[in-house]
Every structure is written in C-alpha cells, then in structure tokens.
Structure 1
C-alpha cells in the first residue's frame, strides 16, 4: 500500500513536468522546422488564384463589440471575400448596429435569428448562406488580423484533405493579474500544445475564436453539433475521425477578450473541461478502430490529464481524512504544501515560458514583460485544471442527452 501511495505522488508530481517538457520539445521542433525561416506575417505565400472566401461571425449580445469586429474583418488584405454576421437572438442593440453596418459595408450580409439557439446553430446557418467553399470563422468580439484570412486560405488551398486551419489567438485585455497570466498562457501553453500536437499529427481542438474550414469537409460530417457545450472541440474530433487534416497557422492572428475575474475564468474553463469530457464520451468507441489510431495520442493525453486530476483529489482526500481520524502510516499524507517539488515545477514553467518567448517574438512584441507574473502560473493553471476537471466529469455524465447548448454571454474582462 505504501508503494501505491508513492506511485500516486510520483504521478501527481511527474505528469505536469513530463507534459511541459513534451510541449517544449514539440514546440521547439515545430519552430525549428516550420517557423524559423518562414515568411514574415506581413508577406504571406502568394495564391495563384485566390478563391472567394466567406467570413462568418456569429453574434449574441455583441452590441459593444460589433463595430470593432466588423471593421477588422473588412480590413482583410485579401482580394475577394464576403462577411456574414449571424445575429442569434440578441436582446441588446446588436441587430440595429449590424443593420447600420450592412448599409456602410457592401461586403457585409446580416442574418437575423429570432431566438437564441446557440453558436453551433448560428454557424450552421452562416455556412448554409455562404457563397464560398472556404469559411473563416471568428467570434463576435474578436479582431481579425488583416493578413489572417490569406494565411488560413493558403493552407486550405494547399491540399485537398486539409479540412480546417486554426489560428493564433492573442489576448488584448491585460489590465489585471489574471489578464497577464493569460497572455503567458496563450503563448507558453496553448500555442506550445498546438505546435507539439501538430508534430505528432493531430490537434485536440481548433481555436473556436479563429479557424477556417473547407465546407465540403463540414458537409460530410454534418456541420457543428448543437448539443455539445464546446462545438469547436467536437468539430475538430469529427473532422479528424473522418480523416481530414487540421493545421495550425501561428501567423493567422486574432485579438480576443478574455475573462479577468475569477468567476468568469471559472465558467469559461469549466465549459472547456466539460466539452472535452463530452467529446471523449461521445467518440471513445469510434477511437477503438485501428483506422483511427492517429487520434490515440490525443485521447491518451486527455485521459492522462483526467487521471492526474483524480489522483490529486485522492491525495487531498487522504490528507483531509488524516486530519480527522488516524490513518495507517502507509495512507498518511503529511502535507499538501509544495516543498522542493514546487520549486522544480516553477522552474520548469519558467523554462517553458522562456521557450515560448523565443518562438512568439515573431508575432507579438513585449510578451517578455509578463515573464515575472508567470511565477504564479503553475499554481493558477494546475489548480484550475484540477478543479474544473473534477467538476466537469460528473457534470458531463449527468447531462441530459440532446440538450441544446445555447449562448451564455461570457466575462469579457476589464478594458
């Protein structure tokens, strides 16, 4: 029994360290092979025959953001495109502002849905109304970089089996500690993970805030699922299970608003965690097929993260019980406070962030100013991951089937 407890502690300690080194090595390999001598962001590869593109922007209560979002979408350095805004039952002045913008921008079309049916449904309506095979999708509060459409469409045109491309979200609200931590997170964690996953061939998810799709691929799999709490994770898995390739393009930038309150951050990350569990429950049987083996690494990575959360929960439970009743020596947990383990985790985290600065200096200047704040990141990230996973698993298991996932306006931070 004593060896079992030691095994739990070793897994709880070594899992985040091993994953960090996996992400660092994968991210640096991707950078060395594909980014080090790549074209600058402002000089994307030429397209011999630039196809017509549809930019889809679902909106729900986005009255404060639609002017900025539409202006950025209209400023694309791409020869031929349309913008379709889908107003999904907004209760504020989104509809009136979109109608006024449609008169201002000839490229803009607006679709009004009379009630809130969720982002997945809004995206499906936009895709069906689009006049292009190539769909660029962003959120209603996101600012699309002027070269982003060109970079993503270039990938879609480069291979017939490229079904989707995910871009590089960047945080634009940084007024609090949580905001600064997320600047580092999107650089050193999310960006690193996507690079590492591309090295072994499959992505866990596209970034729903900025992605592009081949409509033929979406049509084959039935478009977005309106009963999944995270439609972006689900669409990513279904595309790859249907043998479509998903690529990551770090030059396709998109500037986004993120929560800067603990409540808003908790709600967002809980939704992400629940979405991962729902996708795993829905598609786990399909993944047993040998033909789907390239998804096994993605599934294993996610299962290990869930196992780590429950391992931490068991260690904490033993500690609390040990405070109330005497436990045998082989089950006694003396302390939850990190000692030298915490120092090692902090150093590995800072090493990971340093590697991300080397990579991300191509896309954003001044990221290093947040280096100091990243000393708090191991505690913030891993505790949040633990808590949301513990909550998400029973929530996903108890969720009623075929319940439509509707819009819930998120915390957009302090600007």
Structure 2
C-alpha cells in the first residue's frame, strides 16, 4: 500500500512538473528557432517596402472569397489592384452573400478588366469558393486572401519569389498584421500575431514543417493543389487541412514575413471565443483525419508538428484535471495524493510571466522591421496570459468533443465573424 501511495505521489509530482516546464520549454524552443530563422533568412534582406528581383514573372490569380463583405470589398479590391507584380488577375467569389457584395463586385468588374466575379446562388463555404476560383484560373499560381483583408503592394512579388526559386514549394504563407486595435483585446492580438503566430511559423520552418498556412494570406501552386484534391469541403479550417495535405504529400510550405496583409480580428470576448474555438476544432479534425497516415518514415518531417500539437492537448486536459481536483477539494476531503493545495502559481507563475514577456520582447524586436511602433504594444502584453492563455486552454478542451462528434461529410459554410469595433492603425480605416 505504501508503495502505491509513493507511486501516486511521484505521478502527481511529474504532472506538476509537466504543467510548469512544458510551456517553458516550448517558449524557449520557439524563441531560439525564431532567432535562428531571423539570423539565417531575414537579416540583411530587403524589407517589404522594396520589390524583390525575380528571374521571371509567371501569371498569378489573386483570389478573394467573399460572404457579406459589402463594407470591405472596395478597400480589399483596391489593395489588390495596387499590386506591383506585373502579371496578375483578380478572381472574386461572391459566396451567397445576403448584402450588396455581389452588386458592388459587379460594379468594380465593369471598371477594372483585371477583375472577374463568380457568383454562388447560396452559401457554399470558403473551401468551395477557393476550389472554384482555382479551377477557372488560367494561371499556375494563386494568392488567396480574405474578403476583408488589405494586401501590401509588394506582397504578391514576395510570395512569388519562393515559387520561382523552388519547384517543390507548394504553398507560401504570408505575414498577417492586425488592423483592429481600439480595445485591449485588439492590442493584445498585435503582440500575439508576432510573439505566437509569427514566432511559431519561424521556429517550425527550422525544425521541419509548419502547422498551418495563414488562411487570410497564402500563395498556392495549382499543381500541388490538384495532386492533393484541393481544399476539403467538410473541414471547418480549410487552411490547416490544405497545409497538412500538401506536406504529407511532400510539398514544401514556406513562410514569407515580407508578404504583409492587414486583417480585421475580433475585439469582443464572444467573437474571440468563437474564432479560437473554430481554430481548435479545425486542428482536431485535421489531426483525427491524418493520424494514421503519419506513421511512415517518408512523412517523418511532420512528426515534430504532430508531437507539438498532441502534447499541447495533453497539457490542456491535464490542466483541466488539476482544476477539477482543486474544485472538488472545497467540497470533499481528498487523499493526499489527489489534493491540490492551490491554483495560484506562486513562483512558477513568476517564471512563466517573465518568460512570456521575454518572448514578446524577442518577437516584437524581430517584427519591428515589418511594422514600426510595435514597441508601444509591449506594455499591454502583461495581460496576455490572463486573457488569451485561458481562452486557448478552454477552446482546446471544448474543441476536441466538437471535432469527435461532428457529423461527417457536412459542408463547412460561412459564418460572418466579429471584425472588431473600430478599424484603424497601420492598415487604414474604413
């Protein structure tokens, strides 16, 4: 009996060590990977304000799926028309919009011969819009953005620099920048997209594959899309799905930080919850669909991404278990090996907080070459663990059963997102 109790005490000690050291390990892994990536691949390069020299300029279709984007479509199309890349067309997909999106696109198409418009009678989903645009495009390369995004004038050229230099490059993910900054949540997301999303993409490029392209701004090679069957119509996150399909079929995905795209993001807790829950569910759906196919030596480069994701799931549910035991301790006497004395992190919380601030400092320093004035958002980052770590933890927990019990084969269609309170900042205002 004593042996069993000692064993259970060791398990509890291991669990607490895992809960503390896993986020610390990942934070320093991401920081080291991002610094190495910056030093080897970004330092000394021209920045996004300059045009990269290309040996050739193959045709590109700029694809914009739109659903109820009447307030944004003029700005979005204007930014696409301002691309400095010499050979492009624009394909806008009006996906069953209930507002004036279709009429506005038709008006713009009459004024600008570069713009073609596809109309769906009813909501078919973003994946179907992207698929149809790819099928009607006469070009081998696509640059896909959201209907409320503003593409930087040189972004297409920077994305194409990877395609023309690498025959196995199937996709290139760009660098989303936040426009909605009128609330605390908006300001926190400015730091998040640098410290979390941008840093992780840099680190993942160093140790193998990336988890996902950014759905708001990515380039694709149509040959690769055709080989993997294009975007799946039943996945809630088509960007994660296509990323895994391409990389499991040995296509390379690269990250281009100079391909800037200014985007709108939620600035309410309700909107942020819905968005992050969709991201979590989409990650689980892709994981469930592809797990069996990963156990092949030919696909070993996906193993680090798979291990990173599955370990984060274990960490989230371990945190849930600790929280449940701590709550039960208020109502029932628990054995010593199940007793959780406190959920207040004390000195481990100080270490995690300092590491978080260091991570933000490193990432904002790296990203400052792409956006001036980022340092003023650093002081808001002290609130990030309280707001975003908790939301990420809860959506990870809720997202798994939603993915497990989702009805198979159901089409994933559009739901108009929360796009912030006031659109402004570096991307302009509307």
TM-score (normalizing by structure 1): 0.99
Determine if contact 1:89/1:116 at 8 Å carries over to the other structure.
Answer: yes
Q: Any idea what the Cα deviations from partners look like across 1:206-232, whole Å, max 9, x if unmatched?
A: 000000000000000110001001000
Cα-to-partner distance string for 1:102-138 (whole Å, 9 max, x where unaligned):
1121100000010101000000011011111010000
Q: Is residue 302 of structure 2 the alignment partner of residue 295 of structure 1?
A: yes
Matched, 1:282 2:289: yes
What is the CA–CA distance in structure 1 between the aligned matches of 2:241 and 2:157, rounded to whole Å?
Answer: 25
The reply to whether residue 217 of structure 1 matches residue 224 of structure 2 is yes
Deviation at 1:384, TM superposition (A): 1.3
Instruction: Give the match for residue 142 of structure 2.
Output: 135
Q: Secondary structure at the match of 1:87?
A: strand
Partner of 1:330 in structure 2? 337
| Structure 1 counterpart of 2:384, from 377, 380, 402 | 377
Distance 2:76 2:157 in 1: 18
**2:169 is aligned with 1:158:** no
Task: Give CA-to-partner distance per residue, 1:30-68, whole Å, 9 cap, x none.
Answer: 001111111222223312221111000000000000000
Q: Does 1:197 align with 2:204?
A: yes
Give the Cα–Cα distance (whole angstroms) in 1 for the partners of residues 331 and 284 of structure 2.
33
Q: Does the 8 Å CA contact 2:56/2:164 hold for their aligned counterparts?
A: no
- Take 2:278 and 2:71, find their aligned partners in 1: how far apart are those partners? 23
Listed as ranges, the gaps of 5+ residues in structure 2 are: 1-7, 423-430
- Listed as ranges, the gaps of 5+ residues in structure 1 are none
- What is the aligned partner in structure 1 of residue 375 from structure 2? 368
Deviations 1:229-262 (A, max 9, x none): 1000000000000000000000000000000000
| Conserved? CA contact 1:73–1:146, under 8 Å | yes
1:87, CA displacement in angstroms? 0.3
Between the aligned partners of 2:78 and 2:155, the Cα distance in structure 1 is 14
Structure 1 residues 336-372: Cα deviation after superposition (integer angstroms, max 9, x where no partner): 1221111111100110111012211110011111111
Q: Which residue of structure 2 aligns with residue 114 of structure 1?
A: 121
Q: How far apart, CA to CA, are the structure 1 residues paired with 2:307 and 2:135?
A: 35
Please give the per-residue CA displacement for 1:309-338, whole angstroms capped at 9, x wherever unaligned: 000001001101111100011110011122
* CA root-mean-square deviation: 0.8
In structure 1, C-alpha distance between the alignment counterparts of 2:192 and 2:33, rounded to whole Å: 16
Please state whether the residue corresponding to 1:205 is helix, strand or coil.
coil
Count of residue correspondences: 415
SS at 1:272 equivalent: helix
Question: Which of 171, 178, 183 matches 2:185?
Answer: 178
Judge conservation of contact 2:191–2:364 (CA < 8 Å) in 1: no
C-alpha distance in structure 2 between counterparts of 1:340 and 1:380, whole Å: 20
Counterpart-to-counterpart distance in 1, 2:43 and 2:311:
31
Tell me how far apart the structure 1 counterparts of residues 149 and 19 of structure 2 sit (CA, whole Å).
Answer: 37
Moved more, 255-264 or 320-329: 320-329
Aligned to 1:235: 242
* Equivalent position of 2:351 in the other structure: 344
Per-residue deviation, 1:381: 2.4
Find out whether 1:66 has 2:73 as its counterpart.
yes
**Partner Cα distance (1:45, 1:409) in 2:** 36
TM-score under structure 2 length normalisation: 0.96
Structure 2: how far apart are the matches of 1:51 and 1:262?
Answer: 43
Counterpart of 1:104? 111
Which residue in 2 is equivalent to 1:265?
A: 272
Residues 89, 112 of structure 1: 8 Å contact kept: yes
Conserved 8 A contact 1:228-1:405: yes
Residue 20 (structure 2) pairs with residue 13 (structure 1): yes
